[in-house]
Copies of this chain bind each other. A is one copy, B any other.
């Protein structure tokens, strides 16, 4: 999917919500555990209930890997279901990969070709040749970790390198890489005021923004500093939506939470 198609969907649905599918057998309603594939059953229910309020889903790959072969089957079923029943939805593999060239190429193949995700999150530490293999795919996006939403972000990302924070250097350097038009960036909502600086470097790029909700970030602040005329934002919420309830009507309650965020987003879009 192109960024423009994503933008069109955002204006149509009046939402830039991404729902994170951090699906954990210890947290889903227990009655689902008797199903053949409880992870997929949970995801399907969440997707069916929330799809009208969001434009993207982001399976958190760790949660599937932790289940081994069964987890990969559930992931594949989930992405196949999205492709078949909701082809307009943008999909993000939250994998945070990054390795030497030939290995990054295998990861890119896994997520873009085999699973058919629209985008994948990638860590920048290993530099240009670790990211470019992802960028070679047409109409696929590579979402580079820039400034993440966790406490550890301040260990390295905000270190000064020649009087410039490392995360800014990451963003600036990445603009020079081949096919850099396929880049998006992860920028944590818990650091919304940094967005103004980031927008000076990348005024147009899409940002995937975690940390609204469970991690304490504010949607209003994110929009204040980060929104562009084409929106340029995907705001993710995982636990606050998908684990809002563990009762049999969990999907309805997840939908209500998603809708509440969508309503806030529609208000922000009105201001454009």
Contacts and interface: CB of A to CB of B under 8 A. Distances in A.
Contact of A159 (B68, B110, B154, B166): B166
Contacts of A161: 159-161, 166
A4 interface: no
Interface string A145-164: 10011111111110111100
A148 to B, nearest CB: 5
Given A66-B109, A68-B114, A76-B69, A156 B125 contact: yes
A166 B166 CA distance: 9
Contacts of A63: 103, 106
Interface residues of A, number: 58
A118 interface: no
Contacts of A154: 127
A115 to B, nearest CB: 7
Q: Identify the interface centre among A24, A100, A107: most chain B CB within 10 Å of its CB.
A: A100
Given A126-B145, A150-B129, A155-B128, A106 B65 contact: yes
Most buried by B among A22, A94, A130: A130
Nearest to A153: B127
A156 B125 CA distance: 6
Contacts of A106: 24, 60, 62-63, 65-66
A29 interface: no
Interface of A: 22, 24, 60, 62-63, 65-69, 72-73, 76, 94, 96-104, 106-107, 109-110, 114-115, 123-131, 145, 148-157, 159-162, 166, 169-170, 173, 210
Q: Which 9 A-B pairs have the closest CB atoms?
A: A127-B152, A127-B155, A62-B106, A159-B161, A66-B106, A129-B152, A66-B110, A128-B152, A100-B150
Given A68-B72, A126-B150, A127-B150, 20 more contacts: A60-B106, A62-B106, A66-B106, A68-B76, A69-B72, A94-B99, A96-B123, A96-B126, A100-B149, A100-B150, A123-B123, A124-B155, A126-B145, A126-B148, A127-B155, A128-B152, A129-B150, A159-B166, A160-B162, A161-B161
22 contacts: A22-B103, A62-B103, A62-B104, A66-B107, A68-B110, A68-B114, A96-B123, A98-B123, A100-B149, A101-B150, A123-B125, A124-B156, A127-B150, A127-B156, A128-B152, A129-B150, A156-B166, A156-B169, A156-B170, A159-B161, A159-B166, A160-B161
